Amino acid sequence: MTPSQPIKRQTLTSAVTVSLRQRILSGEFTDGQQLRQEALSHEYGVSRVPVREALRQLEAEGLIQIIDHKGALVSKLSLDDVLELLEIRALLEGAVLRSSIPRQTADDLRLAAETLAEFETALRTDDIRHWGALNSRFHLALYRSSGRTNTLALIEQLHNKTDRYTRMQILFTHTKDRAHEEHTHLLDLCRQGRAEEAEAFIRFHIQSAGEALRRYLQDPAPVA
């Protein structure tokens, strides 16, 4: 995803941040790969300052690590790290969803439904690159009415950190149909205003995905 035109309507730092984040999440930059400020500055046609600030932001999000004498490296999470992040997601998203449901509007539910339709198409066409982003957009559409801006920001960061593993879990554990069915059921619970059931189900949804990923990574054979 090499930049092909001048950056417009955004600060240089935020534009470089968005681009680098997407390239990491899409797998263009792999785990442990070094990101060199000089090369990135040349590629984006900017000074080192916005690149340096973008790398600091990505470090705060957990997508890279800045190490003395090595520079910026794309983060590699251990299985324990991923499972811990998913557990945190389950707790936060369950609480936020429960508080969101009584406040959800027709627009909230319409956005979630439209995103779910896009996600279903991406699953059916094996558009793996966008699975994580669409999954995150669907979830956040259901939470936005909570008004908990700080918690939503944390959840979005957790989604970014686990994006690659979300795609890996769906692809390698052969759970495309299950992912769509569970998202559809979750949306139905929201439409019906069943907040307590939705809270329990979102936690099950996230934790079961983590369990499927754990089984795959520990014994990479097809999971039924």
Paired with 67 in beta bridges are 71
Q: Is the pTM of this model over 0.85?
A: no
For residue 150, the model assigns a pLDDT of 96
Read off the pLDDT of each residue in 183-188 and give the average, rounded to a whole number: 98
- Confidence band for 154, pLDDT divided at 50, 70 and 90: very high
Q: What is the rounded CA–CA span in Å between residue 186 and residue 180?
A: 10
CA contacts within 13 A on the Cβ side of 83:
13
Q: 79-218 has which CATH code?
A: 1.20.120.530
Question: If you search the block for the tokens 């700080």, which residue do you land on?
Answer: 150
pLDDT in tens, 70-113: 899 998 878 898 899 999 999 999 999 999 999 999 999 999 99
User: Of 80, 7, 86, 18, nearest to 47 (Cα)?
Assistant: 7
* Domain map (residue ranges) of the chain: 12-74, 79-218
pLDDT in tens, 119-145: 999 999 988 778 888 999 999 999 999
Please state which architecture CATH assigns to domain 12-74. Orthogonal Bundle (1.10)
- Confidence band for 149, pLDDT divided at 50, 70 and 90: very high
Whether the CB-CB separation of 48 and 57 falls below 8 Å is answered with no
